């Protein structure tokens, strides 16, 4: 039964603070080396997240994957958090009104 188990090491690729508004933002572009990602809403407005396509809150919508709850105050750290492993596609964010801020971190192999 012997053998060696090796854990893939990861490192931070990007760590950004991004303003998100009603026009929408690209949080992550496609990255085939991505091991995981995290996004936290540190602003005071709800943030809608969608994988592989822009968030649509208008006609024909709503189309989004996750909704990140707002923080109790700017940069309070208690807003919604999304952590995803093994997804290499693009990630988009948008607010229904106003703007918010997200902290995004990408880990790569």
Categorise residue 10: left if φ over 0, alpha if ψ from -120 to 50, beta otherwise.
beta
Question: Which pTM was predicted?
Answer: 0.88
- Give the bridge partners for 28, in sequence order: 91
Identify the pLDDT of residue 50: 98
Q: What is the mean pLDDT of the chain?
A: 94
pLDDT at 1 over 60: no
Query: Do the beta carbons of residue 92 and residue 23 sit within 8 Å?
Result: no
66-96 as b/e, with b when 16 or more CB fall inside 10 Å?
A: bebebbeeeeeeebbbbebeeeeebbbbbbe
Mean per-residue pLDDT for 78-102? 98
| Joined tokens for residue 109 | 């192999």
- Quick check: 71 and 42 in contact, CB under 8 A? yes
Q: Which domains does the chain have, with CATH numbers?
A: 16-108 (2.60.120)
Residues 47-57 have a mean pLDDT of: 98
Indicate the pLDDT class of residue 11, thresholds 50, 70 and 90: confident
């Amino acid at each position: 039964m012997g053998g060696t188990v090796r854990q893939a090491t990861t490192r931070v690729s990007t760590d950004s603070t991004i303003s998100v508004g009603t026009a929408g933002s690209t949080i992550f572009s496609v990255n085939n080396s991505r091991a995981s990602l995290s996004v936290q809403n540190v602003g005071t407005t709800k943030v809608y997240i969608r994988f592989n396509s822009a968030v649509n809150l208008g006609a024909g919508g709503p189309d989004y994957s996750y909704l990140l709850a707002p923080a109790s105050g700017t940069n309070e750290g208690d807003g919604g958090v999304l952590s995803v492993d093994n997804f290499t596609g693009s990630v988009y964010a948008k607010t229904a009104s106003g703007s918010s801020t997200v902290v995004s971190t990408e880990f790569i192999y």
